[in-house]
Amino acid sequence: MFRRSFNRFCAGEEKRVGTRTVFVGNHPVSETEAYIAQKFCDNRIVSSKYTLWNFLPKNLFEQFRRIANFYFLIIFLVQVTVDTPTSPVTSGLPLFFVITVTAIKQGYEDWLRHRADNEVNKSTVYIIENAKRVRKESEKIKVGDVVEVQADETFPCDLILLSSCTVDGTCYVTTASLDGESNCKTHYAVRDTIELCTAESIDTLRAAIECEQPQPDLYKFVGRISIYSNSLEAVARSLGPENLLLKGATLKNTKKIYGVAVYTGMETKMALNYQGKSQKRSAVEKSINAFLIVYLFILLTKAAVCTTLKYVWQSIPYNDEPWYNQKTQKERETLKVLKMFTDFLSFMVLFNFIIPVSMYVTVEMQKFLGSFFISWDKDFYDEEINEGALVNTSDLNEELGQVDYVFTDKTGTLTENSMEFIECCIDGHKYKGVTQEADGLSQTDGPLPYFDKADKNREELFLRALCLCHTVEIKTNDTVDGVTESAELTYMSSSPDEIALVKGAKRYGFTFVGMRNGHMRVENQRKEIEEYELLHTLNFDSVRRRMSVVVKTPSGDILLFCKGADSAVFPRVQNHEIELTKVHVERNAMDGYRTLCVAFKEIAPDDYERINRQLIEAKMALQDREEKMEKVFDEIETNMNLIGATAVEDKLQDQAAETIEALHTAGLKVWVLTGDKMETAKSTCYACRLFQTSTELLELTTKTIQESERKEDRLHELLIEYRKKLLHEFPKSTRSLKKAWTEHQEYGLIIDGSTLSLILNSSHDSGSNNYKSIFLQICMKCTAVLCCRMAPLQKAQIVRMVKNLKGSPITLSIGDGANDVSMILESHVGIGIKGKEGRQAARNSDYSVPKFKHLKKLLLAHGHLYYVRIAHLVQYFFYKPLYDAAYLTMYNICFTSLPILAYSLLEQHINIDTLTSDPRLYMKISGNAMLQLGPFLYWTFLAAFEGTVFFFGTYFLFQTSSLEENAKVYGNWTFGTIVFTVLVFTVTLKLALDTRFWTWINHFVIWGSLAFYVFFSFFWGGIIWPFLKQQRMYFVFAQMLSSVSTWLAIVLLIFISLFPEILLIVLKNVRRRSARRNLSCKKASDSLSTRPSVRPLLLRTFSDESNIL
């Protein structure tokens, strides 16, 4: 009593204690005690980043945290405060444009989040208040409110189930939005509240729920409900995960339920499980930052050199203060250091356009617009789900072309996750195919050459076990009574394996027809209905790896049926029963089937009374409930009799093998991370060609480690042995390693979860502290790695471990279930499959596709092209080598931005079909090849060369005393205009030379931008603008073009500037033809190789593929 009162008065302090107390309906449990309203968070969900009031300051703060934006802000402020040679508009306008566009984009994305939040928060719910249904908004639900939920509605918060429309107080729920499982789960109300099925009756309930504080584990809940009636003593019932309805789950096949809110808003398990995506940065973005630092250093150097030269030149008195430009008294009194500093800033402002501010907005636009090509790709459309690919983030498009490691799930990703019953084994006798009354073909796995079958009673016992040992529910339109409607039954279960097994039993004449009043009903081969009272269900968990049911037969016998993995069942059955079934299980595992063993035992009535008492006590425990129940389960599931085993097939996805092979040929390392057993996963890897028949497998598994008494010593021996074998086989460099895969023996590694834990958590003595580094060396030399029996956390650990390797390889993770979310978020690029395990993986991914086969085109075609396009875009912006304020402002924004933007969206230097058919082309761009030091220096020296030609070519032209017939002499503005004109035409025509895939859009923007430059120059210099203080460019452009010498000079300078590029293209074409001839000769003389050498291909460059269209 004191504890309850204390909890009421200190409700605001509930986070400081381990439990919380919730009063059902917010009614006091006793009329004699004062009721104080509890203080819990409301039911609002907030996923947005900004509000109307903080958007501007918060967004500006985040944008100016970027080095480039902050740099241009400083330049703008310098131009405003210091007398500089250029107007503040030249840097302020582009900066304002970049900031505005980015703010609009981020504001729009946050508005979408606000809209999604409002759809949830403003949705209609019904609360029971004063025995009436009251309509409210979801955000107004309080902890303790009794909520009514109708069929196919989503639970608005975490609820404890009080009652449902069914007699037994059960309801069916799908949790696809939470854990990716689309199959129905059954939840239960406590037996004391199942009759409260109306608003009037539920309002009379006086109860208090004591439960744990909010925590993110979806599968764990410990609580207790105390129900008060007229008697003084409260009735206490235990609460577990089977009583908790999670926010985001959906009510299925149940007309109506009543539940009390225990966790609301951001304290629900769904909200606590939301893991905000970390900001992923692509390799190209990192290269841009590196280039930016280099050019910033060049800028500072230029400003320092020019400032120094200015003061060296001014050291001569005549130059410092000529007679026509005398200094003012204020200028003479200014400190020389301050004057030098302002001059340094002025030079920085003058030269700051070598760092193009517009590049960032162009890159953002290219990524955003380019992402639509993935969504629009018809090859990604899947008719089965009527959906195509989806881009959740456009910041990583180019990263798709830089992947080094692919981590993939198996079930649902490489396989269909569509289970089909293949065969079964009863006492060593194999049953396969559709039979009538189980009288069909049956053969033994032993040495007997003739067909045989098991005893009839054992067959029926096995099939009854399949019909009873499960959690399958029936969905029917009408009540099933008798056998007439059995063919129309629809099975529902949280596990597709269970449905396959029940359907398999039906194939052999035993049909599960549902539950009625706590009895499981089975139709036997004689079309008779058998009823078994379900006493207890010992649910499956990943530790036990088995599940059991305790049932009472019509004759009164109590039986336990158990099914589970062979490693979990074999130690608990009689040894002499194992051998024949074990042969069957191992062969099925090698064939790629999922296997389960089936066992049973009879329980004496006295033993059952003890077992029943222990189970009830364990279920009522509020502390350590899971441990106590596991102990009881472990005691019950012993001394069983093995009946047989089952084999279920999870079919390989369409073109999964071809996709794996293409990725391997492209130089990518593919790792399979799965929770399945090693034998099944290994056979799947062979089927999908991850392992070739010639691949030598290295195993680091529990089986190989347990050969020694000390596991760590044996593990260390194997690691050293494998490393020695691999180090002398392959060269050290990664690039040559990729080529070596095609020329040397291939190796594959198999490791399981327990061995990985041993490696990651090894003791730190001198002999074992290097386990991890040796393991990584082995992994890097293997062409493929299979990790089986992996927990979700271990998947993320493996991805993180590879990410941190020397050289920081780019990782990609692909999966379809909630258990893959951790590795999807951890990797550089996350791909979600829109599969049968829900959409949790797809929603948390960067990209989602319907099938695994779509990964091939996504990487080899889209990724390749995205990388080449944006790499060219970045180099081009740094290459473009500036004088009137309007020209400076318009140069990067209008004159030269649209052509490169169109190029970066549409260019196909190699045809898409060629990219997908020849995966080796992917290796040419791996390792960020186009943004390394070599290409960067090439573009920089090309810009320096062309800048030199522009300036000195025009300078020598001006050595002529007069360029006009009327003897007028051109001035410095004409000089600058000629240089600028040559510049604009050269960089635009350079892009035209680089373009291999011409469309009408390319023609329009390239030739249109040149025409716009000419039009703008005439327009800008042909009008007296009243808002300008001085009209320096008035009539300059028109006057310049009146000279024939100027025309000839412009054409000549453009040709000289582009001549090295034209010469390079000619040489590449000659080399391409030579390489093709050599390749043809080699093909004619060489015999076929399993994996052709890629060396002739590497002779070619991107421009070489210009004719492959």
| CA atoms of 530 and 532, how far apart (whole Å) | 7
DSSP label of 194? T
Distance separating the N- and C-terminal Cα atoms of the chain: 82
| CA atoms of 111 and 548, how far apart (whole Å) | 50
Q: Which residues contact 761 (CB under 8 A, 6 or more apart)?
A: none
Helix (H) or strand (E) holding 203: helix 199-203
Contact 999, 900 (CB under 8 A): no
Residue 786's DSSP bridge partners are: 672, 750
| CA atoms of 728 and 309, how far apart (whole Å) | 59
Q: State yes or no: is 409 an active-site residue.
A: yes
For 876-900, b where at least 16 C-beta lie within 10 A, e where not — what string? bbbbbbbbbbbbbbbbbbebbbbbb
Q: Which two tokens stand for residue 584?
A: 């069957």
| CA atoms of 772 and 719, how far apart (whole Å) | 10
**Locus of tokens 């689309």:** 182
| CA atoms of 853 and 17, how far apart (whole Å) | 51
Give the SS3 label for residue 425: strand
| CA atoms of 986 and 1006, how far apart (whole Å) | 12
What ranges in 970-999 are assigned the alpha helix state H? 972-994
Question: Phi/psi at 64 (nearest 5 deg)?
Answer: -80, 0
Contact 319, 55 (CB under 8 A): no
| CA atoms of 603 and 609, how far apart (whole Å) | 10
Contact 1006, 1078 (CB under 8 A): no
Q: Which residues contact 516 (CB under 8 A, 6 or more apart)?
A: 531
Q: Report the amino acid identity of residue 230.
A: N
**Locus of tokens 């260019």:** 907
Cα 836 to chain centroid distance, Å, stands at 17
The active-site residue out of 343, 404, 409, 445 is 409
In this structure, the number of other CB atoms found within 10 A of the CB of residue 74 comes to 14
Q: Which two tokens stand for residue 324?
A: 């026509």
Q: Which residues contact 128 (CB under 8 A, 6 or more apart)?
A: 25, 134, 145, 146, 147, 148, 199, 202, 203, 258
Contact 532, 561 (CB under 8 A): no
Give the SS3 label for residue 82: coil
**Tally of helices (H runs) and strands (E runs) in the chain:** 40, 34
Q: How far is CA 309 from CA 299, 301, 312, 563, in A?
A: 15, 12, 5, 87
Q: Which two tokens stand for residue 559?
A: 């039986």
| CA atoms of 852 and 417, how far apart (whole Å) | 13
| CA atoms of 732 and 209, how far apart (whole Å) | 63
Q: Which residues contact 297 (CB under 8 A, 6 or more apart)?
A: none
What ranges in 891-999 are assigned the alpha helix state H? 897-906, 912-917, 933-957, 972-994
Question: Phi/psi at 263 (nearest 5 deg)?
Answer: -130, 135
| CA atoms of 134 and 125, how far apart (whole Å) | 8
CA angle 1038, 1041, 1047 (to 5 degrees): 165
From the list 570, 563, 524, the residue with the least C-alpha distance to 648 is 563
Active-site positions read 409
